[in-house]
A and B are shown apart, each in its own frame.
Chain A
Amino acid sequence: MTASAHPALNAELRLNEKMFDADVQKVAIREGFGHGLVIAGDADARVVVLSGDLTESAHAEGFKKKFPERFVEIGVAEQNMAAVASGMAAKGKIPFITSYAMFSPGRNWEQIRTTICYNNQPVKVAGSHAGVSVGPDGGTHQAIEDIAITRVIPRMMVICPCDAIEARKATVAAASTGTPVYLRLARNATPIITTDDTPFRIGEAQIVWRSKAPTVGIIATGALVHKALVAARQLSETGVEVEVMNLATIKPLDEAAVVALATRTGRIVTVEEHQVAAGMGSAVAECLAVHHPVPMRFIGVQDQFGQSGTPEELIEHYGMG
């Protein structure tokens, strides 16, 4: 059965009809970011890109080829990269700094806090290789604390796209917020969930899977939105009705949508490729504890470090499969 035939998928969002097919197209979320960078660069000459010696891997290569005069190779120096970007933003540029999430915003957190956010400079931090799905590189390179350390900083927006198409749109949108933004990007090729026609706005959560009488609301972010949809379809076949929310913007949180989902369903499960401590689920809990407390469960990494393995093995091992 193809998705187009499944009535539970939100038709208004014009999602990928083949998302449940065995041969579903898979593209790395970071690749969508790379396409977005070129579009953003075309649209606005103020957009500049800084690279921390990971130009190809972090998908800044396309921008570098098209706009070499607006590309700066910083070397393996993420702290410097963040603060250099702040200085460029102070001079009217819209800098994107690109590296692995473990190093940016991991290594350079204080520079991001002080020179970017405290200074209120519109620098965009693009962290690739977020989550355990980085795979064989192992735990040192798997950022699973990055949502926590970015969402805690005042003024920082935090966006975690669910697929490469949404990553492209999020990148273009991030360029024009006038604020600091963290873009959380995954390494591995993952199923395409959305289409070019799917609407995207920063700060708007989307109900991707609907039900008439849902008993659980699943809130997912990043590539795990696809896993949540697969789970929802399986549950529906056993008679359990759920709703699934794609929470691409973790900050600012779409509180109205989160509260509405909790009100409709009475129970919330959050799903993220991140420590459950202080991540997306915590952001949801902070909102619901105040506005509409409901029982919650948190799917994510449970206070552990990652390790080597295939992305699939690791997602399964850490309880997110």
Chain B
Amino acid sequence: MLLSEKQTITLEETANDIRKSIIEMLVAAGSGHTAGPLGMADVFTVLYFHTLRHDPRNPKWDDRDRVLLSNGHICPVLYAAMAYAGYFPKESLMTLRKFGSPLQGHPHREFLPSLESSSGPLGEGLSQAVGMAIADKMDGKSGARRIYCLMSDAELDEGESWEAAMLGGKLALNNLVAVIDRNNIQIDGLTEDVMPLEPLAKKWKAFNWHVLEIDGHNMEEIAAAFHKAKTIYDKPTVIIAHTIPGKGVVEFESDYRWHGNPPNQQQAEMALAELRALGEEIHSRAES
């Protein structure tokens, strides 16, 4: 096991806190995306609190790992993870989507300089991550720092995603890790109805990537996949993280209609109550 039981529980508690913040942020904003951020809270928690080589107090440290969020619309989870990690005060989270806020509706690095990239339009993040990985290879820095690109499953509808995948495979960019949030939903419905992606793992293998498939809510599996990726020397790695959109709030789970809508006050109170109960359950496990 990569994680001790105590580590796992601590990560679960953090992920739960991040989910509560996501709900609070979305209610305060009055708009934004709910399903994706909740679904990716566990992956972001492991990334920011276990895997990443970074220093939140020195966000421009040259040898830091880079995180690119390609599907910028799930930025509430990115912002919350960064705030909890210490990049900026948690109080800022409540300014999401407000005029002048560092937390723009889709990430903008001029408003929040600790972001690696401004993003939103789908299918572009992996290309940028490939570019960063190439630059590090040119500079002989690929051993020191890694590039992580977080993506959605539906953005693989974009042809550019596969252009980037081809180039990453061609150049055997072993300093690059892509994480696909395989939550099976997109705005118009289920991914397999809108535009089938399966067989997804076979597609990536055919593009010369090392493919790992994990339960995106299992802290040990997430941490192990990031760890495993460091040992793959001849290819870039893609982690297909199977997640439940809206995870943590039963009423939101696996319903594509929560892709792009925020909860109202009443729904938020219900969601927070559920998450608080979940938090108590995790806490009681810690004490037993």
By a beta-carbon cutoff of 8 Å, the part of chain A in contact with chain B is: 48, 69-70, 72, 74-75, 77, 79-80, 82-93, 95, 110-111, 114-115, 118-120
**Chain A CB within 8 A of B164 CB:** yes
CA distance A64 to B123 in the complex (A): 28
A-B pairs with beta carbons under 8 Å apart, 10 shown: A79-B123, A84-B164, A85-B131, A87-B135, A88-B131, A90-B131, A90-B132, A91-B139, A114-B118, A115-B117
Q: Which residue of A lies closest to B62 (CB)?
A: A92
Q: Which of B124, B127, B131 has the most chain A CB within a 10 Å cutoff? A: B131
Judge whether A83 and B167 touch: CB under 8 Å. no
Query: Whole-angstrom distance from the CB of B86 to the nearest CB of chain A?
Result: 23
B59 contacts which chain A residues (CB < 8 A)?
none
Q: Which residue of A lies closest to B115 (CB)?
A: A119
Judge whether B124 and A91 touch: CB under 8 Å. no
A111 contacts which chain B residues (CB < 8 A)?
124, 127, 160
Judge whether B138 and A48 touch: CB under 8 Å. yes
Beyond contacts A91-B136, A111-B124: 14 other A-B pairs, Cβ-Cβ < 8 A, are A48-B138, A75-B166, A79-B160, A84-B130, A84-B164, A87-B130, A88-B132, A89-B131, A90-B116, A91-B135, A93-B138, A115-B117, A118-B118, A120-B110
Q: Which of B110, B116, B167 has the most chain A CB within a 10 Å cutoff? A: B167
Judge whether B134 and A72 touch: CB under 8 Å. yes
A114-B121, A118-B118, A119-B109 known; A79 vs B135 contact (CB < 8 Å): no
Dominant secondary structure at the B interface: helix
Partner of B135, one of A74, A83, A93, A118: A93
How many residue pairs between the two chains, A and B, have CB atoms under 8 Å in the bound complex?
92
Judge whether B135 and A92 touch: CB under 8 Å. yes
Query: Whole-angstrom distance from the CB of B168 to the nearest CB of chain A?
Result: 10
CA distance A110 to B121 in the complex (A): 8
Q: Which residue of B lies closest to A77 (CB)?
A: B163
Q: How many residues of B contact A (CB 8 A)?
A: 29
Partner of A83, one of B116, B120, B159, B160: B160
CA distance A90 to B62 in the complex (A): 11
CA distance A219 to B136 in the complex (A): 45
A119-B109, A119-B117 known; A83 vs B164 contact (CB < 8 Å): yes
A118 contacts which chain B residues (CB < 8 A)?
108, 118
Judge whether A83 and B138 touch: CB under 8 Å. no
Query: Whole-angstrom distance from the CB of A94 to the nearest CB of chain B?
Result: 11
Partner of B131, one of A77, A87, A114: A87
Q: Which of A85, A87, A114, A118 has the most chain B CB within a 10 Å cutoff? A: A87
**Chain A CB within 8 A of B128 CB:** yes
Judge whether B135 and A115 touch: CB under 8 Å. no
Partner of B124, one of A70, A95, A115: A115
B166 contacts which chain A residues (CB < 8 A)?
75, 77
Query: Whole-angstrom distance from the CB of B143 to the nearest CB of chain A?
Result: 15
